[in-house]
A and B are shown apart, each in its own frame.
Chain A
């Protein structure tokens, strides 16, 4: 059976389930907005300080939102042992990984699509530019490629809500560093070429960890 056919079936299944409950997207979105507002309180919200701290706020918010949504990713697979149901299907484990990963990417992007304009509005900063959208898509992809793998690990641990961030944050630190730096440069009006060390860094991270996670995912779910 066709690899992408399986991937599409899994992503589709996760997406309609999410569209029905809106469990992940709604809670993560509310969380994101709250974090943005609270950061506003803690930094005094003058235009001057905001310019300096906004990139950090944006990426801390998205990283935490990512953990929150990734924590839920394998919960439906655990209820009624659905993951075992998937494992007895004649499909490759790599397809299961890719399908789950794409589903998670969609949820995160939906949250960000709503959060970015609000961010623009509340911070009075031009966050909604092509440059920043590119950075966001690349960095979010980086989050979910390792996040999906670690989410599958965390689901079988005690205190999984705590395990995921402990695994996730150190590994994605290069993505956070690069995304913050690139956003900073972009907000200061830098050109595409001034984003150079950072965007390729995120892209390289994405490519490397997609391949590695793709290859080792089967070792996570196979007993």
Chain B
């Protein structure tokens, strides 16, 4: 068994165990929040999806820089794979955020700062894919999307700051400032760990699938030119 398989199986087992534990914690263990009620449990899904939306972009950023400097396809594959996973979680974060907004504020969509910033992030992901598919050749597409990957990540904190200053209603950044009861914090941490492990599992699958794809293309091309 090669290292890739060990890594993959390890992540698979880890994700499965953590997911199971986190489901137990979210639905059985953690007490219901006093003011918001049962709906507050969405929180344990909302924070991890938002976190993965960001984490994916950080990986895109790293892959993009390495690709531009080293021009090796594997870094573009890493960035691209992370983007494909990232946009799914960003979409999920928006949907979950809407579901959260409905009972709390009585509307499906509110221009709440973090939700707004996530929406802008979603558009940046979209730009990442569009510029790649509309570029005149694949190598250009890879380079241009790497540019979006770099500019996008640098922009995220500025977007977050400007939307926060622009609007301001939310349960505040209470998560790490001791505002969360210990069982809730534990549940959140386990969910975060479970989703992070799941992300790396998906990333591993995506990267190896894309590597195989590019290998097949190279082989096909070499057969054709013979």
Chains A and B in contact, CB within 8 Å: yes
Tell me the residues in window 111-158 of chain A with beta carbons closer than 8 Å to chain B beta carbons: 146, 149, 153, 156-158
Residue of A nearest to B141 (CB): A157
Interface flag for B177 (CB, 8 Å): no
Contacts of B120 in A (CB 8 A): 170, 173
Contact status B134-A220, CB under 8 Å = no
B2 touches A (CB below 8 Å): no
Known: A153-B131, A201-B165. A216 touches B147 (CB 8 A): yes
Contact pattern, A 177-220, Cβ under 8 Å of B = 1, otherwise 0: 11001000000000000000110010011001100110010011
Q: With A and B bound together, what is the CA distance between A163 and B136 in angstroms?
A: 12
Residues of A within 8 A of B154 (CB): 208-209, 212
A-side residues, CB < 8 A to B, are 146, 149, 153, 156-159, 162-163, 166-167, 169-171, 173-174, 177-178, 181, 197-198, 201, 204-205, 208-209, 212-213, 216, 219-220, 223
- A149 B158 Cβ-Cβ under 8 A: no
* Pairs A–B under 8 Å by Cβ, sample size 24: A149-B151, A153-B144, A156-B140, A157-B144, A162-B134, A166-B123, A166-B131, A167-B148, A170-B120, A170-B155, A171-B124, A171-B151, A174-B162, A178-B162, A181-B165, A205-B158, A209-B154, A212-B150, A212-B154, A213-B151, A219-B68, A220-B143, A223-B139, A223-B140
Q: Are A174 and B161 in contact (CB under 8 A)?
A: yes
Q: Is the interface of B mostly helix, strand, loop or mixed?
A: helix
- The CA-CA distance from A212 to B157 in the complex, in Å, is 15
Q: Which of B123, B139, B158 sits near A208, CB closer than 8 Å? A: B158
Is A171 a contact partner of B155 (Cβ separation < 8 A)?
A: yes
Residues of B within 8 Å of A166, CB to CB, are 123, 126-127, 130-131
Question: B residues within 8 Å of A by Cβ?
Answer: 68, 120, 123-124, 126-127, 130-131, 134-136, 139-140, 143-144, 146-148, 150-152, 154-155, 158-159, 161-163, 165-166
CB-defined contacts of B134 to chain A, threshold 8 Å: 157-159, 162-163
A contact patch SS:
helix
Q: Give the chain B neighbours of A178 by CB distance below 8 A.
A: 162
Taking the closest CB of chain A, its distance from the CB of B165, in whole angstroms, is 5
The reply to whether A201 and B162 contact each other, CB–CB distance below 8 Å, is yes
Not counting A208-B158, A209-B154, a sample of 11 additional A-B residue pairs whose C-beta atoms are within 8 angstroms of each other reads: A156-B144, A157-B134, A158-B136, A166-B126, A170-B127, A171-B152, A177-B163, A178-B162, A216-B68, A216-B151, A220-B144
